[in-house]
Structure formats: structure tokens, C-alpha cells
Amino acid sequence: MASFDKLAEKLIPHYSQFKVAKRLLFTGHSHQAWPDEAFEGLKEAFLTAADQVDYKWSAAFEKTDILRQYLRRFYDDTDGHYGLSQSTHDLIIRWLSSFDLKNKPRIITTDSEFYSIGRQMKRLEEEGMEIVRIPALPLDGFSERFKKAINDQTAAALISHVYFNSSLINEEISDVAEISREFGVPLLIDDYHGTNVVPFSIREHNMEDCYFLIGGYKYLQWGEGNCFLRYPSDCSLRPVITGWFSAFETLDQPQGNNVRYSSGENRFFGATYDPSSQFRAAKVVHFFEENSLNPEILHQDYQQKTAYLKQQFEKLDLNPNYIKLKHQYPIERNGGFIAFTTPKAGEIRAELKKHDIYTDSRSDILRFGPAPYITSSQIDKSMNVLGNITKQLFRE
Ligand SMILES: Cc1ncc(COP(=O)(O)O)c(C=O)c1O
């Protein structure tokens, strides 16, 4: 038994609907199970709609505020605004539409961004934008590389805090913020793999003027439809892509010639959406609080479980031509999952699924993501099966 098993054993009964004891859900980095209490939130959403009809929106906005408060605490960020949307992609688009891309056609990013940014950058490049992709590795020296790439033609910079393809943490984001500030370039940090895994104080890192992308599908256990753009409270950007929810409080007033934006949290808001996700997520916030799943406990849990998973994998002593760790950095520089590289990533994932072991693969990368409800014996089992499958597939 490992020290982290105590917490997992305590949590498992609360995830009965997702059957976390019966299946090996190593998709913590992709979609985590929801606690049973989340189901109550979905029922509440329905009953509120049935009872209050179109007056349900004030209840829905209250739920969103619960999520905002949670994020403000996580980021030690009393001042920031948190704009809601269905996906991070929605938010990226609205954010990018705020800038003068005609006169400043250069955008800085990395070669390791998730598709929501990566694909969009590629398409913009096809339209003539100058997209500069800084190598994410080696980790050390990233800010130096960033400094060489930035210039006064740069409209914006978009980089990850924790890379989706390796789990490695970019520890130089506050240096990057300082450089961006010198050039007056707005900086967006994709923190989908950082929230609830790598505690981060926006205040202590002096990054109040930066933008953060946050999503609920993974480590927050909020499910779909709960993404946020964190932006500075004095933000005066005027996104070109803008929905009428961005002007809620001013809709009754004369609109004048120019499009107006609400102050506060709605500047990047869209239009009518299904608010049941926020009812569900607010229950998860309550569940996390009741079970003391705070940033320090979560960080420790992910560190211990990824370290254990890595150690059990190394014990298998598999041929590195078949499968190996994606990187050799120490576990302290790794986020919430372990990435392997293997030429048969998709086939291994499919075989693992036959054993009720859920993982995911992207080209030659196979990812295993634990979660607070995962036990050491589940890790042992999944690594044993991985060893056997690998040997079979490569006919050793
Ligand atoms: C780093 C990162 N950003 C964003 C996303 C999701 O983006 P979206 O909300 O646009 O689907 C993911 C994965 O789902 C991710 O790994």
C-alpha cells in the first residue's frame, strides 16, 4: 500500500456512477470522473429551469460565480476577471479578435501547443500571418528563446504552462511575462494542464496583467462547458468576435455608434448557452471543499502518483525501441500525467481498453493520467498489463 491510497480509498465510494473501482481510468489528464454529487447538480439545473423558466439565468450566473471564486482562490488572484465559455477555443478566438492583426501580423507561440491553439495558428499562417513557434525543449532557456523571437510587430503570445504532449512544466512563464510587458505584447498562458495540479500564485509571480486559459474537463472534474479566460480587471480590449451576453447590463440603454462592453466578467462572453454545466460543476466545488481537496493536497497527490507510475514502468525494463518515457526530467518538473513514446501508441491504447484500462494516445505518444481516486494497486495492474501488451505487440 502506498501513502496516497488512504485518500483514494476515501474518495472511491463517492464516484460510484463512474465505476472508478471497477475500471482503471487513467485518463485523469483528459477527462476525470465526476463525483456522484455532480448528478445532483444536473437535477438541480433541470428543476430550476422547470420552476423558473427564463428567470433561471440568475441562478445559473450564481453557479458560475462559485466557479470563479474557486479559481480566484486557486490562483491567489483577488483582482482578476474570469470570463466563461464552452471551450478554450471559443475564448482564444474572441481574445485574438481584439488585436490589430493587420498591422501587427506576428504571433509567438511554441511548437508544443494543444490543437485548440496549434491548429488555429496553422490556419492563420495559411492566411499570411507570421507564426513564430519557439521550441518548448529544452525547458531551461525558454525565456531567452522567447526574447529573441519577440519584436514590436508582435500582436500576441500564446504559450502553455504545462505541455500537453510531455507533461513538462514551463517554469519560466513569469520571465516570459516580464519580457512581453517590455514590448507591450499581451501574453496568454494555456493552463489547462496546470489548474488543480501545479499550484500557481498569479500575485506572487506578478502576472496580474496576463491572460490565463482554464478548462474544467480534466483535473477540475467540472466536465464540459466550463472554460474560463482569466483577464486583468482593467482590461479594455474590444473583441471583434463578440456575443450579446457581453453587454447584458447595458442592453436597455441607448447603444450609441460603437459597440459597448460590460465592465466586469462579461467582456469576452458569447451568447445563449446551456448552463447546466455550471450547476454540475458548482456541486463538484462543494465536494472538493468537503473533502479538503485543496491545491497542496492535489499537487502532492499528482506528484506521488506520477512518481510511482514512472517507477513501476521503469521496473518493467522494456526495450526503449518499443516504448520509453517521453522525457528524462525529474518528476518535480512534470505535471499530472506520464507520457510515453512508442511507435504503436494507438494499438497499445486499444489493447489496454480491452482490459478496461482507459488511456489516450496522440500519434506516437501514449498518456497515462492518474487522478485522486486512483490507487497504487490500480497503477501496479495497469503497468503489468502494459508490459505484457507491449511484449506481445512487438512479438518479443
Ligand atoms: C493544453 C490544452 N488546452 C486546451 C484543451 C482543450 O481545448 P478546448 O476547450 O478548446 O477543446 C486541451 C485538451 O482538451 C489541452 O490539453
Over range 10-23, report the average pLDDT: 97
pLDDT (0 to 100) of residue 248: 79
Say how many Å lie between the CA of residue 170 and the centre of ligand 1. Answer: 17
Say how many Å lie between the CA of residue 114 and the centre of ligand 1. Answer: 6
Dig out the grid coordinates for 8 from the structure.
Answer: 483514494
Over range 258-284, report the average pLDDT: 95
pLDDT (0 to 100) of residue 396: 67
Ligand 1 contacts CB of residue 158 (under 6 A): no
Over range 225-248, report the average pLDDT: 96
Q: Which residues, including other chains, have CB under 8 Å from residue 172's CB and lie 6 or more apart?
A: 139, 140, 142, 143, 146
Ligand 1 contacts CB of residue 118 (under 6 A): no
Over range 154-170, report the average pLDDT: 98
Indicate the DSSP class of residue 2. -
Angle between helices 376-393 and 295-316 (to 10 degrees): 40
The position carrying cell 479566460 is: 229
Bridge partners (DSSP) of residue 324 are 341
Say how many Å lie between the CA of residue 117 and the centre of ligand 1. Answer: 9
pLDDT (0 to 100) of residue 353: 97
Q: What percent of the chain has pLDDT over 90?
A: 94
pTM: 0.97
Residue nearest to atom 11 of ligand 1 (CA): 87
Angle between helices 57-74 and 37-52 (to 10 degrees): 150
Over range 327-339, report the average pLDDT: 98
151 and 106 in contact (C-beta within 8 Å)? yes
Ligand 1 contacts CB of residue 113 (under 6 A): no
For the beta carbon of residue 392, count every other beta carbon within 10 angstroms.
Answer: 11
315 and 379 in contact (C-beta within 8 Å)? no
pLDDT (0 to 100) of residue 256: 80
Q: What is the dihedral of CA 255, 261, 264, 265, to 10 degrees?
A: 120
Over range 9-34, report the average pLDDT: 97
The model's pLDDT over 36-73, given as tens digits with 9 standing for 90+, comes to: 999 999 999 999 999 999 999 999 999 999 999 999 99
94 and 219 in contact (C-beta within 8 Å)? no
131 and 121 in contact (C-beta within 8 Å)? yes
Residue to mutate (ligand 1; options 31, 163, 192; most atoms within 8 A of CB):
192
Q: How confident is the model at residue 263 (pLDDT cuts 50, 70, 90)?
A: confident
pLDDT (0 to 100) of residue 395: 83
Between 90 and 263, whose confidence is greater? 90
Residue 45 CA neighbour count, 13 Å, CB half: 19
CA-to-CA distance for 304 and 291, rounded, in angstroms? 19
The model's pLDDT over 307-324, given as tens digits with 9 standing for 90+, comes to: 999 999 999 999 999 999
Ligand 1 contacts CB of residue 190 (under 6 A): yes
Strand pairing class (81-85; 227-231): antiparallel
Positive or negative torsion for Cα 195, 200, 205, 206: positive
Residue 365 has pLDDT above 90, yes or no: yes
Ligand 1 contacts CB of residue 215 (under 6 A): yes
Note the residue count of the chain.
396
Ligand 1 contacts CB of residue 193 (under 6 A): yes
226 and 281 in contact (C-beta within 8 Å)? yes
